[in-house]
Amino acid sequence: MATRPIGSGAEAELERIREGVPHGRFPAHVFNDQEIFDVEQERVFAKAWCFLAHESEIPNRGDYVTRYIANNNLIVARAESGEIHASLNMCRHRGNMMCKSEMGNASHFRCSYHGWVYKNSGELVGVPYMKEGYEGRLDKRDWGLIKVRTETYAGLVFGTLDPNAPPLDEYLGGFQFYLDLYLKQGSSGSEVHGPPDHWVTETDWKIAAENFSGDGYHTPVAHQFGFNLGYFASSGSTHSQGWAASIPGRGHGIGLGHTPGFPPFAGFPEELADEMRRSLSPEQVEVFSQTRTAVGTVFPNLSFLMQPFSIVPGEAGVRFVTMRLYHPIGPGRTEMYSWCLVPKDASEEYKREAYRAYTLAFAQAGTFEQDDLENWARVTRSAGSNMARDVEFPYVMGMDSVPDPDFPGPGHVVKPYVNDSNFRNLWSRWSDYMTGRE
Indicate left, alpha or beta for 343 from its phi (over 0: left) and psi (-120 to 50: alpha).
beta
Reference 324, options 204, 201, 219, 198; nearest CA is 198
145 binds ligand FES (CB under 6 A): no
Strand segments (E) across 49-122:
50-54, 63-69, 72-78, 84-88, 103-105, 108-110, 117-119
Per-residue x/- marks for Fe ion, 349-378, CB under 5 A? -----------------------x------
Q: How far is the CB of 330 from another protein (least distance, A)?
A: 14
How many residues touch ligand FES under the rule CB under 6 A: the total is: 10
59 binds ligand FES (CB under 6 A): no
75 binds ligand FES (CB under 6 A): no
Gap between the Cα atoms of 91 and 87, Å rounded: 10
Instruction: For the segment 204-243, give every residue that binds another protein (CB under 8 A).
Output: 222-225, 228-229
94 binds ligand FES (CB under 6 A): yes
Go through 382-413 and write b for each residue having 16 or more CB atoms within 10 A of its CB, e for each that does not: ebbeeebeeeebebebbeebeebeebebebbb
- Kindly report the number of other CB atoms within 10 A of residue 208's CB atom: 22
CB-nearest residue to Fe ion: 372
Q: How far is the CB of 92 from ligand FES (least distance, A)?
A: 8
Cα-atom radius of gyration of the chain, to the nearest Å?
23
96 binds ligand FES (CB under 6 A): yes
Q: How far is the CB of 90 from ligand FES (least distance, A)?
A: 9
Interface with another protein (CB under 8 A), residue from 40, 369, 420, 432: 369
113 binds ligand FES (CB under 6 A): yes
Q: How far is the CB of 271 from Fe ion (least distance, A)?
A: 30
Q: How far is the CB of 149 from ligand FES (least distance, A)?
A: 24
CA distances from 98 to 63, 95, 261 (A): 15, 9, 55
116 binds ligand FES (CB under 6 A): yes
CA angle 60, 63, 67 (to 5 degrees): 135
111 binds ligand FES (CB under 6 A): yes
Give the one entry of another protein, ligand FES, Fe ion, none that residue 194 binds, where binding means its C-beta sits below a cut-off of 5 to 8 angstroms depending on kind: another protein
CA distances from 196 to 24, 251, 289, 340, 362 (A): 35, 25, 28, 8, 12
Instruction: For the segment 169-208, give every residue that binds another protein (CB under 8 A).
Output: 193-203
Which DSSP state fits 65? E
114 binds ligand FES (CB under 6 A): yes
Say if residue 221 is exposed, middle or buried (CB neighbours under 10 Å; 0-12, 13-18, 19+).
exposed
115 binds ligand FES (CB under 6 A): yes
What does the binding site for Fe ion look like in residue numbers (CB under 5 A)?
A: 372
What does the binding site for another protein look like in residue numbers (CB under 8 A)?
A: 100-104, 193-203, 222-225, 228-229, 311-313, 335, 355-356, 359-360, 363-365, 367, 369-371, 373-377
